[in-house]
Amino acid sequence: MDIATIIGIVLGMGAIIGSILLMTPDFGMFGSISSFGIVFGGMIASLAVAFPLKDVLALGTAMGAVFKGVEAAEVGRKGVADLENHVGNINSFFFRDGAQMVVDGYSLEELTEILNTRIDYRELRENTQAGLFKSMGTMAPAWGMVGTLIGLIVMLSGFGEGGTDALGGGMSAALLTTMYGAIFANLFFLPMAEKIKTRIVFSSTMQNLQVEATRLIHQKKHPIIVREKLNSFVPPKEWKKEDS
Amino acid sequence: MDIATIIGIVLGMGAIIGSILLMTPDFGMFGSISSFGIVFGGMIASLAVAFPLKDVLALGTAMGAVFKGVEAAEVGRKGVADLENHVGNINSFFFRDGAQMVVDGYSLEELTEILNTRIDYRELRENTQAGLFKSMGTMAPAWGMVGTLIGLIVMLSGFGEGGTDALGGGMSAALLTTMYGAIFANLFFLPMAEKIKTRIVFSSTMQNLQVEATRLIHQKKHPIIVREKLNSFVPPKEWKKEDS
Amino acid sequence: MDIATIIGIVLGMGAIIGSILLMTPDFGMFGSISSFGIVFGGMIASLAVAFPLKDVLALGTAMGAVFKGVEAAEVGRKGVADLENHVGNINSFFFRDGAQMVVDGYSLEELTEILNTRIDYRELRENTQAGLFKSMGTMAPAWGMVGTLIGLIVMLSGFGEGGTDALGGGMSAALLTTMYGAIFANLFFLPMAEKIKTRIVFSSTMQNLQVEATRLIHQKKHPIIVREKLNSFVPPKEWKKEDS
Amino acid sequence: MDIATIIGIVLGMGAIIGSILLMTPDFGMFGSISSFGIVFGGMIASLAVAFPLKDVLALGTAMGAVFKGVEAAEVGRKGVADLENHVGNINSFFFRDGAQMVVDGYSLEELTEILNTRIDYRELRENTQAGLFKSMGTMAPAWGMVGTLIGLIVMLSGFGEGGTDALGGGMSAALLTTMYGAIFANLFFLPMAEKIKTRIVFSSTMQNLQVEATRLIHQKKHPIIVREKLNSFVPPKEWKKEDS
Amino acid sequence: MDIATIIGIVLGMGAIIGSILLMTPDFGMFGSISSFGIVFGGMIASLAVAFPLKDVLALGTAMGAVFKGVEAAEVGRKGVADLENHVGNINSFFFRDGAQMVVDGYSLEELTEILNTRIDYRELRENTQAGLFKSMGTMAPAWGMVGTLIGLIVMLSGFGEGGTDALGGGMSAALLTTMYGAIFANLFFLPMAEKIKTRIVFSSTMQNLQVEATRLIHQKKHPIIVREKLNSFVPPKEWKKEDS
């Protein structure tokens, strides 16, 4: 589990609920099925027009992926340290494949090209997920505004009848939709798109390091050069020292 | 037919109509020929200034293309699996051309260059379509705002006469144009631009895979290397295994 | 003449005027020298600060270029088909220069480098024109807003005197400036910037095709390879077939 | 002196002052030390946080550079025409250095690399100046909005006391800050950032032409090829003809 | 200490406080725990969803880094001047590593590749910090708007009860949250993101210069070429002259 995501959502909901309770005990005023319906329904509708059906249906999976933690990192780094001895029991799927290709006698160019193509197209596929959340983050406020406009139009067209007193309540209800859209976008969808992007960069750094490691095994380079080359991918304070 | 697009539009219209009916039974208030006229007319006018006439006239075709489904994918993948045996009966137009060039004795460099140029310029042409929808998605709300400004100016200049009661109705009518612009943009044009872009990426992945496949036939590579190279374009769970 | 631009502007003005007449017969209310003055004057002022004087003075030429049609295309395509026979009477200035260089005995590398540099710097120069219109499209609404702010400040500071009745008229006049800015930007300047950009892409495609054609003449390639290579630049339905 | 900048600023101030005088003779209403203070003070504060101190202190120099004209162009073009004869008395600092390196016997690769690195890092340094003005152009309206918010908060919190009549004056004063921010950004800072960018492109074109010229001297190319290569950087109508 | 940042923040706070005191002595009106809570709490919540936990926890370190000054520059430039004599006592960690690799007998290609990879991945890691501040700069105003919406909804729904007089106070309190978000973003987070970006560019220029210097030591180039090559990275007025 990625606890940061959980903490963030709990903290965000707390900030919203807390600030409401400071102002009014009447919390029910902020619940509105119709506001939720137009923001969420409209957003899903825009998504269905914008993306292939199978990507929209995979939204649950993508959402789940945001909550799952990342464990690949440590494995990658550890595997790199003594990779010349234990090619057999490597945990990283991607790295084991590369090591296997060395054993199978692929040329250095073929090996590099195959692994790099794999990284490029994995990035491309994962960017679609990030794009899905990004679209949700721009569509939610847009539909929030549409909902508020509908509310205002209904309210204003009946302006003369209810008197000025009815104005406040109607406007309050209309603004609710804008608020729903803003919260959905800024607490959930935009940050989730960001997290997926951060992870794509992280995975690619790890895999580039593993491609380099595979190339170095293939070239049978001296261990010190191997260490220097692989160190260049990670921050100085995490470097493998001579005697480790 | 691309059912996702249909589902999306039906769902979006449902969300809008549903949220209106929850508030008022007087649905007619939301129909306005003049609001529709200025948003749609203005948008088409901006398009005609922005794009060559033949691109604007091909808008219907582009719109139709969004609703048509994509079937090329499966064909491409199947054709790749046993491509060395059945060069003759390949369904993909692009791939058959490449295979034909191998038979015709083009050099590896010429073949790669010709096919890559074709991909680049197909992307360029299809991006014009996406740009057309993108422009519609930014022009519709802009003209919605122009319409609302016109409505407000007319209403406010007659403010003293009608009294405060007339204010609400006029403002309600003025806001209608903004709402039309927002719905056109967020339910139709922006998502459609997105869908075309997603498809361009998908087609290019498929065609890059086919270029690689053609190159491998030309180089008469060992089937295992062919499989590894082509696998690197698709997600691991769709990989061709040794015995398939 | 590029009739699309004319049609667009006429249609756009029609949409605006029609929607006004539907609401009020008093059309004069929308004419305002001072609103026009601040939007147009301010915009030109920003342009003069932003661009070299000679680019601003060439604005008329750029504006004229938007209205002129494009005929270069057909010539380019026709010239390519039988280019080996009629090098002498080629209409395209750029292509004839390239063919002349082949005759003059330039090396393949020199010829390619000279022609590509020419394409790059033509793009650079034409992008300045597009940038000029883009700047006008962002400056017009900005100055519209400045005008509206000035109008509001004057009106509100005299609020107590005229009574509530004067409020509407003043606000109506103030909003006029915003409307002018929005119409200038969305009907004229932004679409014109877009059209220039579309044309730059089109010219570059044509010239890249002509560079390739020149290179093929230089290399004395077989006509079938020439046809295939040049076909890769244009959409499949416009391809030259074997017997044409 | 770059007269376009002066003309622009005078024209812009004229448009603003003229449109104010058309509405009210009471011009003093638009002068406000506190509005100027928060917009300008806040903007400089944001700049000091955003950029190294020496860049902020060099703001005056950058501002001066915007008003200075460009004379380098003519020199560059003239120098290129008969560069093989007069290497000694070239006005352009950059070009003379390149010619000196040819005399000093640098290899073609070293010479090209040194000059290109110099262009890259000059662009990098000048882009910092453009970035400074760009930041000012986004910070000025942001602080204008902060000032307006402060004004509105003070005014609204005392709403009950002064009565409705005080509302107009307070709001008018509050909007002044937004207007200051918009004028600073759209008449001064954003166009100045644009002008610096246009100049960077211009300088780089000139210097790329001079690098090419230096390379051609080094390679002792035939004058006709020299002319063709250098012509490719400038628009056709400015080309050196055979007999000039 | 980076005094510019301190000066900026003090100046910005002064501009805000000064402009408030000019309008009202009642400064307490601008302090609001609940406004601070929703803007700051919501922003941190969005960050926790958007970034890996360890990056969010390292926020304090990143904040501290913005206030720390940069001293690496002078060292780098001085070290370069007489680098052939004193390889041993170089202050720059990065440069000493490079010089050590020359001594250890790495090939020119290996050395260049290792150092360039190190620069690329350092940039990637530091860009995460800039991205963190950028996200805070967009999230703070977004949550400010959410807080204002909540305030408006509570106030408007109770509109009939309190009378028009209560309206001003409620709206004033609601706007406070928007103001908090705008100040946080424009005085702190956005400028800090900018400063980190400026520093990344500066560090990379320095390190590219050091890579070039290391390469020149490895190639045992003539001192004059060394001087010319290294000069090309810095502005002409800081160039090392022949006799220095």
DSSP character string of D89-138: T---HHHHHHHHHHHTT--HHHHHHHHHHHHHHHHHHHHHHHHHHHHHHH
Tokens of residue C75, six digits? 């010539």
Locate the chain E residue with the closest alpha carbon to D121. Answer: E233
Nearest CB partner across the interface for A156, out of B12, B168, B205: B168
Cβ distance of B157 and C176 shorter than 8 Å: no
For residues D104-108, give the mean pLDDT.
86
Residues of chain A with Cβ-Cβ distance to E50 below 8 Å are 8, 190-192, 194-195, 198
Amino acid symbol at C56: V
DSSP E1: -
Give D236 to chain E, closest Cα distance, Å.
32
- pLDDT for D244 equals 42
**Cβ <8 Å between E168 and D160:** yes
- Cβ neighbors of D167 (< 8 A, separation 6 or more) are C159, D155, D159
* Residue E51 DSSP one-character state: S
Closest by CA position to C23, among listed B154, E122, D93, B225: B154
CA dist C98 and C87 (Å) reads: 10
| Structure-token pair, residue E216 | 């020149």
Please give chain C's pLDDT, 244 residues, in tens: 578 888 899 999 999 998 888 887 778 888 888 889 999 999 999 999 988 888 888 888 777 777 765 544 443 444 444 554 555 555 677 887 888 888 888 889 888 999 999 999 889 888 888 999 999 999 999 999 999 999 999 888 875 555 566 677 788 888 999 999 999 999 999 999 999 998 898 888 888 888 888 888 888 877 778 778 888 887 877 776 554 4
Judge: D45–E192 Cβ closer than 8 Å, yes or no: no
For residues A97-117, average pLDDT: 87
The whole-angstrom separation of Cα A121 and Cα A203 is 13
Nearest Cα residue in chain C from D232: C118
pLDDT in the model for residue D39: 93
User: How far apart are alpha carbons E212 and E206 in whole angstroms?
Assistant: 10
Q: Residue D9: its chain C contacts at CB < 8 A?
A: 45, 49
Q: What is the pLDDT of residues E187-244, one digit of tens each?
A: 999 999 999 998 898 888 888 888 888 888 888 877 778 788 888 887 877 776 554 4
Kindly report the nearest CA distance between residue C118 and chain D, in angstroms: 4
Give this complex's ipTM: 0.83
pLDDT band at A209 (very low <50, low <70, confident <90, very high): confident
Nearest to B191 among A50, A121, A153 (CB): A50
In this model, does residue A175 exceed pLDDT 90? yes
What is the three-class DSSP state of E191?
A: helix
D49 to chain E: closest CA residue: E5
All residues of chain D having their beta carbon less than 8 Å from the beta carbon of residue E198 are: 50-52, 55, 128, 131
CA distance B8 to chain C (A): 29
Tell me how long chain A is: 244
Among E38, E145, E157, the residue with its CB nearest the CB of A172 is E157
Cβ-nearest to B44 among C11, C18, C202: C11
**Apex B84 CA angle, B81 and B89, nearest 5:** 85
Contact B8 A145 (CB under 8 A): no
Tokens of D21: 């005088």
Beta carbons of A49 and B232 less than 8 Å apart: no
Residues of E with Cβ-Cβ distance to A136 under 8 angstroms: none
What phi, psi does C214 have (nearest 5°)? Answer: -60, -45
In terms of CA atoms, which chain A residue is nearest residue E162?
Answer: A165
- Residue B180 is predicted with a pLDDT of 95
Q: Of B77, B61, B92, which is closest to residue B196 (Cα–Cα)?
A: B61
Q: Name the minimum distance, in Å, from the CA of D171 to any CA of chain C.
A: 7
Burial class from Cβ neighbours inside 10 Å (0-12, 13-18, 19+) for residue D113 reads middle
Q: How many residues does chain D have?
A: 244
Q: Are C233 and C209 in contact (CB under 8 A)?
A: yes
What tokens does E158 get? 């109770």
Chain D residue with the nearest C-alpha to that of E182: D146
Contact C4, B53 (CB under 8 A): yes
Chains that touch A (3 or more CB pairs under 8 A): B, E
The more confidently predicted of residues A75 and C2 is C2
Report phi then psi at C87, rounded to 5. Answer: -50, -35
Residue A72 has pLDDT above 50, yes or no: no
Least confident of B201-205, C221-225, D113-117, D120-124: C221-225
Tell me, what's the pLDDT at B91? 60
Calculate the alpha carbon distances from B75 to B94, B100, B241, C197, E151 in Å.
Answer: 12, 17, 18, 36, 57
At residue E72, the pLDDT reads 42
Does D48 contact E22 at a Cβ distance shorter than 8 Å?
no
Nearest Cα neighbor of D188 from D9, D35, D56 is: D9
Confidence band for E90, pLDDT divided at 50, 70 and 90: low
**Rounded Cα–Cα distance for residues C94 and C75 (Å):** 12
Query: Has this prediction a pTM greater than 0.80?
Result: yes
Q: Which of C182, C229, C231 sits opposite B149 (nearest CB)?
A: C182
Total number of residues shown for chain C: 244
How many angstroms separate the CA atoms of B212 and E34, rounded? 60
For the segment A157-180, the average pLDDT, to the nearest whole number, is 76
Nearest to A41 by CA among A176, A191, A173, A146: A146
Contact at CB, D4 and C124, closer than 8 angstroms: no
Considering only the beta carbons, identify the residue of B23, B70, B195 that sits closest to A151.
Answer: B23
Residues E230 and E40 sit within 8 Å (Cβ to Cβ): no
Under an 8 A CB cutoff, do D154 and E24 touch? yes
Please give the backbone phi and psi of residue D90, each rounded to the nearest 5 degrees, phi first: -90, 135
CB contact under 8 A, A225 and E158: no
Answer whether C touches D (≥3 Cβ pairs < 8 Å): yes
Q: What is the pLDDT of residue E1?
A: 57
Q: Do D169 and C147 touch (CB under 8 A)?
A: no
**For residue D119, what are the contacts with CB-CB under 8 A and spacing of at least 6?**
D204, D207, D208, D211
CB pairs under 8 A between C and D: 167
CA atoms of C157 and B132, how far apart (whole Å): 45
For testing contact with chain C, the best of B96, B135, B153 (most C CBs within 10 A):
B153
pLDDT confidence of residue D147: 93
Q: Which amino acid is at D167?
A: L
The backbone region for B92, taken as left when phi is positive above 0, alpha when psi lies in -120 to 50, beta otherwise, is: beta
Q: How would DSSP label each residue in chain E?
A: --HHHHHHHHHHHHHHHHHHHHH-S-GGGG--HHHHHHHHHHHHHHHHHHS-HHHHHTHHHHHHHHHS---HHHHHHHHHHTTTT-STT---HHHHHHHHHHHTT--HHHHHHHHHHHHHHHHHHHHHHHHHHHHHHHHHHHHHHHHHHHHHHHHHHTHHHH-HHHHHHHHHHHHHHHHHHHHIIIIIIHHHHHHHHHHHHHHHHHHHHHHHHHHHHHHT--HHHHHHHHHTTS-GGGPPPTT-
E180 contacts in chain A (CB < 8 Å): none
**pLDDT at residue A132 tops 70:** yes
pLDDT for residue D134 is more than 90: yes
Query: Which of chain B's residues have a Cβ under 8 Å away from the Cβ of A37?
Result: 15, 18-19
When scoring E123, E126, E157 by the number of chain A Cβ atoms within 10 A, the one with the most, hence best to mutate, is: E157
Distance of CA E141 to the CA centre of its chain: 19
Chains D and B in direct contact, meaning 3 or more beta-carbon pairs closer than 8 angstroms: no
Q: Rounded CA gap, D95 and D81, in Å?
A: 13
Among A172, A228, A231, select the one facing E153 at the smallest CB separation: A172
Cα separation of D101 and D218, whole Å? Answer: 9
State which amino acid sits at residue B107.
S
Q: How far is CA C147 from CA B244, C11, C16, C28, C134, in A?
A: 71, 27, 21, 19, 20
Which structure tokens are listed for D117? Answer: 């690195």
Q: Cα-atom radius of gyration of chain A, to the nearest Å?
A: 26
Query: pLDDT tens-digit profile of E122-151?
Result: 898 888 889 999 999 999 999 999 999 999
- The CA-CA-CA angle for residues A80, A84, A88, to 5°, reads 90
Of the spans A161-175, A182-196, B117-131, D147-161, which averages the highest pLDDT? Answer: A182-196
Are C179 and B149 in contact (CB < 8 Å)?
yes
Three-state secondary structure call for residue A105: coil
Compute the Cα dihedral for C127, C133, C134, C139 and give only its sign.
positive
Residues B215, B221, B223, B228: is their CA dihedral positive or negative? negative
In angstroms, rounded to a whole number, what is the distance separating the alpha carbons of residues B21 and C227?
A: 62
Q: From the CA of A35, how many Å to the nearest CA of chain E?
A: 13
CB contact (8 A) between residue E146 and residue A22: no
Which stretches of chain B drop beneath a pLDDT of 50? Answer: 71-81, 84, 243-244
The answer to whether C150 contacts D182, with C-beta atoms less than 8 Å apart, is no
